[in-house]
Amino acid sequence: MYVAVKGGETAIRNAHDLLADRRRGDRAVPDLTLAQIVEQLALSVDRVMTEGSLYDRELAALAIKQARGDLIEAIFLVRAYRTTLPRFGAGEPVDTGAMRIERRISATFKDLPGGQLLGPTFDYTHRLIDFALAAEGETAPPAERQPAGEETPRVTDLLAAEGLVETSLAAAPEAEPGDLTRAPLEFPADRDLRLQNLARGDEGFLLALGYSTQRGYARSHPFAGEIRFGEVEVEFFAEDLGFAVPLGRIAVTECQMINQFKGSAKVPPQFTRGYGLVFGQSERKAIAMALVDRALRWQELGEELTAPAQDEEFVLSHSDNVQATGFVEHLKLPHYVDFQSELELVRRMRREQAAARVEEPGEDAREAAE
């Protein structure tokens, strides 16, 4: 039986008005501007762009404001927005080797060409609350120093020169990478699709999975070979022009994880790699992504499947926080009819059980009588 229920329009409208009121909060407090969010909550913006899978700082800021700071809600809004836009095409692959570096560190080589550039980082802070930030006051401009003008080669290239690390496989000339915004994910998934899924996957989920690999669930002895953050140029091959048009720059974080590998019948012992690439300065996410990327490569590298982080169907099917929140949160929507039928079922089972007891008095009844 299907029962249509209507009602609640006024309640819903008033609830949304109340939400808008709460979003604005105390009118004595100035309204938050998008520029303030872009500039001062930049890492929230980066996360919303990364997991919303759409690079647009101001749009992400607006989503954060609309979502009252709930980042998963903001990510949901960004994903919904992108469905309203036409797709012009795909960009040329970005060249992270040509990045304008704002931060570049290696945990594997102290003295590497180009140096260790700490950039704007929370690392080495003492994580003490800075009460000075609660007071108004200007921040002094940071120190400057003449750049050394050295090249900053990838750490993986330095190791590759000695043949100690696996080299990246180039694609077949005309191979188009898979795109899970166009075709549903199918298993087994190739590494390009896995990386696309991980790039937009939930940071918390990937963080936990990456952590699990370090604790022994698919241990792969990782080293952060290199983490770099900065701007890369984006180009788009415009058919109407016949050449690749520069569109501007985007900020990205790249993580090159280097993992131990004892070798196989075909391959001598060498380091293998996990890769992370995300929008903005999303370092934790990039590291976690690289750990999980490496764990998911167990089959290709002839390793055993022993842990959740290696199980691509488990990982890739549960990484998307928009899908996850949709299914988990739908539980709070009305299930009145479903529940009525469950309620009726439980009542009937109880009646039947009680009736069965009366017909055949069991142990309990006899004991009670004695």
Partner 1 sequence: MANDHHAGKGCVREQRPDVEDRRDAMRVLALAGAETLAAAWSDWQDKPRIEDIRRAETGLVMLRGRIGGDGASFNFGEATVTRAAVRIGGSVGHGYVLGRDKDKARLAAIFDALWQGEARARVEREVLAPIRGDIAAADTRSAARTAATRVDFFTLVRGED
SS3 233: strand
Q: Identify which of residues 196 and 220 has a Cβ nearer to partner 1 in the complex.
A: 196
Residues 161-200 contacting partner 1, CB under 8 A: 168-171, 173-175, 177-181, 191-193, 195-196, 199-200
Q: Which of residues 250-279 bind partner 1 (CB under 8 A)?
A: 250, 252, 254, 256, 273, 275, 277-279
Under 8 Å CB-to-CB from 271, ≥6 apart: which residues? 159, 164, 165, 166, 258, 259, 260, 261
Q: Which two tokens stand for residue 237?
A: 């091959």
* Smaller CB separation from partner 1, 164 or 343: 164
In the complex with partner 1, the residue whose CB is nearer, 186 or 367, is 186
CB of 325 to partner 1, least distance (A): 19
Site for partner 1 in 30-49 (CB under 8 A): 49
- CB atoms under 10 Å from CB of 46, counted, come to 24
Using the contact rule CB under 8 A, the part of the chain among 78-86, 213-221, 329-337, 358-366 near partner 1 is 78-86
Stretch 274-313: interaction string toward partner 1, x if CB under 8 A: -x-xxx----------------------------------
| Contact assessment for residue 257 and residue 273, using Cβ atoms and an 8 Å cutoff | yes
Q: Is 238 in the site for partner 1 (CB under 8 A)?
A: yes
Indicate the DSSP class of residue 189. P
Residues 325-364 that bind partner 1 (CB under 8 A): none
Rounded to a whole number of angstroms, the minimum distance from the CB of residue 287 to partner 1 is 15
Assess contact for 276 and 288: CB atoms under 8 A: yes
Which residues, 6 or more positions from 61, have their beta carbon under 8 angstroms from its beta carbon?
34, 35, 37, 38, 41, 45
Sequence-separated (6 or more) residues with CB below 8 Å from residue 337: 1, 3
Residues within window 87-126 making contact with partner 1, judged by CB under 8 A? 87-98, 100-103, 110-111, 115-119
Furthest CA-CA distance within the chain? 97
CA distance 56 to 64: 12
